[in-house]
Structure 1
Amino acid sequence: MKLLGACALWAAAAGAGAGAADDIVLGQVAPLTGTIAGTGDEYVAGGAAYFAHVNANGGILGRKIRVVTKDDSYKPEQTLAHTRALLADDKPLALFGYVGTGNVLALNKNKVLEEAGIALMAPYTGAQDLREPMNPHIFHIRASYTDETSRMVEHLHTIGLRRFAVMYQDDPFGKSGLAGAERALEKLGMKLVAQGGYDRTKPEEIGAAVKAIAPSNPDAIIMVSVNRASAAFIKELRKTGSSARLFSISVVNFKELLKNAGEDTVRGVGISQVMPYPYSPMLPVVREFRELMARYQPSKTISYASMESFVAAKVLVEAIRRAGPNPTRQKVMAQLESLVNHDVGGFHVGFGPGNRVGSRFVEVTVIGQGGRLIR
C-alpha cells in the first residue's frame, strides 16, 4: 500500500494521476447558488446519476468514481479559484461538467488546463471563443451558440420572416450567440434590425433591451439569455404590444419560463435544443437516463441539462475505461480523442486529433398548449 500510495503521489505531481489509489477522482465546478443555480443543480444531477450507476456495478475496472464538486455561484473568479484548489488538493484525473462561458474562459485565459495537462469534459457552453482556436484540453459535446442561432435564422427565413433582432447577455456567452445570428444574416444579405443587451449580474433588469428592440417592430427575436432574463424580457416585451416570434437558445429551461412568466405569455416560444428529447423514451440513451435518474436522483429534475451531463458522463467513463487499469490525465485525453463516432445509445459523439466538438446536433422545440414542450 505504501508503494502504491507513493506511485500515486508521484503521478499526481507529474500532472498525470487520478488523485487517490482507490478512487478515480473527477473535479466539477458548477453554479449551485446564484442566478443560474437551477441549471447548475440539473447539470450536476445527470452526471451524478450515471456515476452512481457505474459505482453500483463495480466501478471502472474495480475502482469507484468520486466526484469533488464545488460551487462557483456563476462567478468566473470563483471558478478559477476552486479549480486551482481542486487540482492542488484533490488531484483529479479529469474535470467535468463546468457551467458558463465566462467561467471556462477564465480557465483558458490563465492556461489552467494546459499547465495541469488535464481534460475538461463537456462544459455547459456553446461559445465560439472556446472552440476557435481549438483548445485540445476542452471536449465539447454540444453544438455551438453560433450553430444554434444560425439554424434559427435559416429556419425562420425559410418561413418568410425577414426582420430579426437579438436580445443577449452582455458577456462572452451572449455575444457569441449575437455574432452567430449576425453571420447567418450576412450570408442571406441581411442585417439585424435591432439588438439589446443586459448585465449578467442583473438578469431581471431587461428594460433597456426592450426599449432597444421593441420600436423596430421585428418579426422574430432570438434570445441569447439565461432563464430569469428570458422570462423577464418576454413579459415586458408583450406589454409593448409586440407580436414578434420569440426563440431562445438551448441554455434556457422551458419549465423556468413557465414558472416565471406564465403559460399564456410563453406559449409559442421556440427553444433550440442540442441533446436528445428527454421527455419521451424513444432512444435507448433516453430510456437509460430516465431509469437511472429515477433510481439514483429521484428528487432531481428531468431536463435537457441533466440529459446533457448524463451523456457527458457516459462518454467520459468510456474514455477512462479504455485508458486501462492505470489511467493518467494524458491517457484519458488520448482516449477521448480516439472516440471518433461513439454511440451512447442512439446519439453519437465524436472527436478526433483536430476536433474537440463532439456533436453539432440542433433541433427546435416549441412551448405548446398545457405548458408542454413539443418537437
Structure 2
Amino acid sequence: GDCNNGASNNPRGLTNFIQQSSLNVQVRSCDDSVCSGESWIDITDTSPQDLSLDNNTYFQYKVDFISPDTSVSPSLESVEINYDILNTAPVVEILFPLNGQLYLDGNFDLNFSVIDGEGNLDSCWYSLDSGVTNVSLGGCMNVTLDLADDSYSLVIYANDSLGLIASDSVGFYIDSTGVSVSIVEPTGKKSYRENIVLDFDVVGGVNCWYNVKTSIGGAVIENTTLVDCANSSFDVSSDGNYVLNLFANNSFGSFNLDSSNFSVDSSGGSVVIVNTPSGSGSGGSSSFTRASVVAKLEVENISVISLIGEERNLLASVKNVGKVSANKCNLVVSKGYERYVD
C-alpha cells in the first residue's frame, strides 16, 4: 500500500527495521603475555568501567556480540583504556656484615637479598664510602670482599626498570692486628706503699686505663686514664694483697686487658725515740733504735660443740689493738686440734 499519505503517486514502504544486538565484555590480568592459566572475568556491559584487578604485568579484554540475524554484523567502534602504573621500589637487606661489628679478617662474603614485588628489578651496586665510589654487582649476586684494616660504611643499592631506587646500609670495622697488653710491673712483693711503678707494653692501643682492687675484689683505685698509654705510678694506703687490671682499646673497637697480682708489706719497722735518764743527774740523753711495729689482734674465746660428722661454721670477733693495719690474717689452730679445723 501507499504509505505516503497521498503525498505523491510514488509508493513508499518500510524496507529496513532497527534490530537490537547485545555484547558481553570480559577482562583478565596476567603475569605472562599469553595469559596462561588466568580466567576471564565478566564486567557490567556499560561504559565507562572502573576495574579492580590483580596487579600483573599484562591486561586483556574481549567483547562477544550476539545479533538476532546473520545479516546483522555488529562492530566495536573504539576502546579506550586509562590506567595508573602500580610500582614499588625493590627491598634491599644486608645480611652480612652486621652493623657495628668488629671483624678480625677482611676477607669475607658480602651477603644480601633483593626483592622486587613487580618483578622488574634492573641492577644492583655497592659502595664502601657512603656512595662516593660505586661498584656494580652483576646480576645482583653476592660477592667476596677483601678489605684492609679500617672502618667502613657499606651501602647496597638496587633499582627497577621504572627508575625506583632502594638501599640498605651498615657500618663495621676490620682489625686483623688487634690490641695486645702485657704488664711488666707491679709483680711480687713490695715493701713500700707509695710510688709503686706501673710499667707495661701495649701494641695497637690508643686508649689505656687501669684500676687496682684488693685480692677479694674491693675497689682501691677506680678506673684511671693513662695519657698516651704511658707508664705511671700509684699509691696504696695499706699493706695487703692486690690485683692491678690494665685495659687498652683502639679506634676500631678492638679491646684487650692484662692483670697482675702483687702484695705490699711495709711492716719492716719504724724509728722511735727512747728517752733514757742519766745516772749523774745531768741532762738526759736520747738514743734512736729501730723497733718492729706489728699488728696486735685480740680474739674473743671461741667454743663449739660438734657432733661426729657434723660441719660447723665459726664466727670470730677480732679487734686490732696494734699500730698498723692488718689485712693478711691466718687462723692458727692449737696443737692437737689441727685435724678438726679446715
Q: Under a length normalisation based on structure 1, what TM-score does the superposition of the two structures give? A: 0.17
Q: Under a length normalisation based on structure 2, what TM-score does the superposition of the two structures give? A: 0.18
